[in-house]
Amino acid sequence: MINNWKKITAFQKSMQYEEPVLFSLYERRRHYVLGLYAEVGELLNSFSWKPWGDTKAPDIVNIEREIVDCLFFLHHIAESFNVSAEDLEKRFEQVLINNKFRYSAKEGE
């Protein structure tokens, strides 16, 4: 995943997109979170939520596309807080260990 994160960074730098100076850092972060929220909504639309609704198989290609779109917004959010791919990799390992401990403890209850 760290490789893809770096690809997103390189892509965004290659686009030479500049944030509008009219937006404060707070506003940019808020827009990124709202963008992520919208993309998660699009991902949700790949599934029928009504029990009586359409039971056809979800469109896997669309699901993959929406997950990647979410990654782009997550990248924007992380970058706005100066969180690097390496920072996320370290945090991921910590959370993984913590979750393994928590869930293995629940199994023993």
Query: What does the pLDDT read at residue 36?
Result: 97
Q: What pLDDT, on the 0 to 100 scale, is given for residue 14?
A: 86
Tell me the average pLDDT of the chain: 87
Q: Output the pTM of the full model.
A: 0.79
Can you list the pairs that 32-37 forms with residues at least 24 positions away whose Cβ atoms lie under 8 Å?
32/73, 32/76, 32/77, 32/80, 33/73, 33/77, 35/73, 35/76, 36/70, 36/73, 36/74, 36/77
Q: Write down the residue that tokens 């979170």 correspond to.
A: 33
Could you give the domains of the chain?
23-83 (1.20.1670.10)
> According to the model, what pLDDT value does residue 60 have?
92
Q: Supply the pLDDT for residue 6.
A: 85
pLDDT exceeds 80 at position 53: no
Q: How does residue 46 score in pLDDT terms, banded at 50, 70 and 90? A: confident
